[in-house]
A and B are shown apart, each in its own frame.
Chain A
């Protein structure tokens, strides 16, 4: 191997190029998720929530806030991460990434960094929005940030994998549209899983989103469906799985270089 220096300029270029795309599509990428989440707060938090008793000692509206942030964060990170790399593949501009002196790891850092940043920005905006509707109390701000950042990075990586795998727009959208919402809804975003019958409680433990929502909610209210350490471990595991898949993709050139 020759001496390989890290192409920092390239990472910076990709990152800011992608962030500029977000500025350009402000309506679609920021305003729309914020409005959607606000609707959830109005319907579930304020209208219906006022008739639901407290869950684990917090009001229902407050209870669902971490889950709603996670729902948006997952969806946003997956779609931003996948579109970022799928679009150059679709338009053909990927020739430039492949013929530039950049390692795929640098391409990954640029795209995933931008996707995760966007997800985080939107997540924080929603958190701020939520505080208008319900009482928010963050017991462990540092752990909240850790959960948020790890989840954003992991699911942006997952999105990147989808973006490389997808051959058309249908495949690109199938995961964020069809897989993420059921997993989030059934992963304890709107209820505590101990409200479920035992069988479905057991099934819920196979849902990765449960661990994210539970850990994230713990950092707010110290109430959790699973031990927060287990949650953290599971996010770490997803991160390692995504990185392993990407390592294989880059080594083989799967769907990138023929």
Chain B
């Protein structure tokens, strides 16, 4: 029995075949939990944008069903689209409009009555308030990206889709954006973002989904995923080079690298907890000191999501 809340977005056997016969989605199933930050990773053309576009109403599905907050996205589009905010991948803006007009327009389009105080707050959060009377064509690319985010937030969505929000965005904006994301998450907004930047997913996502060639390859809690697939490496820097692995250490599968200047040991991330008995690392440390190895420094490295991702896509390719 599970007492978990029903998923806020539920995608079942979703398929999309474009007019030219291209199969963009081949039967995707995905449940998005209320209040989570879900990162969807995948190479270009994997089907990420198509999937988001179907949920948001930009593209008609070829088969399957998408439910948002318990409503069908095709039949009950008014209910579902009221709940959703979308920040598109392309910087599409009405060049000759002012910032405040375009953001106010977005709110009206979603059927909400005017709320200047809310619009002001959104613009201030995104450092756009000073630019409110500027025309969009006068803004830099990063500023336009902020405007698109403000537009998506203007109708107070419960679910926010960010399609590659940080493509071509500088560090300041990225930081501002993650602050806004954190603030939204605190108010219970569910956030789905697609990205090529794996460190981004690693930094802010609760769960990570990997899409490739129209299929969802996996979806997992980020920490579980990293633990399950992540390899660790211990590196021992030596004060002077060795010719061979010192006797007494054969059992530990050590390798001499960098002309004998360092020893490395590969192990799985979930080996660190000894499961009741002494962990391998602790045993190795004792053996090292017993063998009188000329130890200079120690470092460990855990494989990043990027390594995991590349490995996963590579296996299927």
Contacts and interface: CB of A to CB of B under 8 A. Distances in A.
A17 B77 contact: no
Interface stretch (A8-16, A48-56, A189-197, A204-212): A8-16
Contact of B111 (A7, A99, A257): A7
A21 B57 CA distance: 27
B59 A7 contact: no
Given A2-B76, A4-B78, A258-B18, A97 B92 contact: no
Given A13-B105, A253-B60, A101 B110 contact: yes
Interface in B113-145: 113
Contact of A258 (B60, B81, B90, B105): B60
Interface string B66-97: 00000100011111111010101010111110
A195 to B, nearest CB: 46
A196 to B, nearest CB: 46
A5 B86 contact: no
B109 A91 contact: no
Interface size classification for chain B: 35 or more
A74 B261 CA distance: 84
A93 interface: yes
A95 B107 CA distance: 14
Contact of A101 (B18, B19, B78, B95): B78
B94 to A, nearest CB: 5
A258 B22 CA distance: 12
Interface in B29-69: 56-60
Contact of A95 (B92, B111, B112, B113): B92
Interface residues of A, number: 32
Contact of A5 (B78, B80, B108): B78
B151 interface: yes
A258 B106 CA distance: 23
Contacts of B90: 92
Contact of A14 (B80, B109, B112): B109
Given A14-B109, A91-B93, A93-B93, A99 B84 contact: yes
Contacts of B151: 96
Interface in A100-159: 100-103
Contact of A9 (B81, B86, B95, B111): B111
Contacts of A12: 108
A249 to B, nearest CB: 14
B92 A258 contact: no
A101 B81 contact: yes
B109 A13 contact: yes
Contacts of B223: none
A257 B56 CA distance: 12
Contacts of A95: 58, 86, 88, 92
Given A2-B71, A95-B92, A258-B18, A13 B58 contact: no
B272 interface: no
Nearest to A258: B59
Contact of B92 (A9, A10, A93): A93
A98 interface: yes
A20 interface: yes
Contacts of B113: 9
Contact of A10 (B58, B93, B94, B108): B108
A17 B78 contact: no
B244 to A, nearest CB: 64
A99 B109 CA distance: 10
B162 to A, nearest CB: 13
A93 B94 contact: yes
Q: Name which of B18, B80, B92 has the most chain A CB atoms within 10 A of its CB.
A: B92
Interface in B208-243: none
B101 interface: yes
A201 B117 CA distance: 64
A210 to B, nearest CB: 38
B88 A10 contact: no
A102 B75 CA distance: 13
Contacts of A97: 109
Nearest to A7: B111
Nearest to A20: B101
Given A14-B109, A91-B92, A258-B19, A99 B81 contact: yes
Contacts of A17: 101, 105
B185 to A, nearest CB: 21
B56 A99 contact: yes
A1 interface: yes
B92 A2 contact: no
Contacts of B107: 13
A101 B82 contact: yes
Contacts of B88: 92, 95
A2 B58 CA distance: 20
A243 B111 CA distance: 25
Contacts of A10: 108-111
Contacts of B18: 258
Interface of B: 18-19, 56-60, 71, 75-82, 84, 86, 88, 90, 92-96, 101, 105-113, 151
7 contacts: A2-B76, A8-B111, A92-B90, A96-B109, A97-B109, A100-B109, A101-B78
Given A20-B101, A99-B57, 6 more contacts: A4-B78, A10-B110, A95-B92, A99-B81, A99-B86, A100-B106
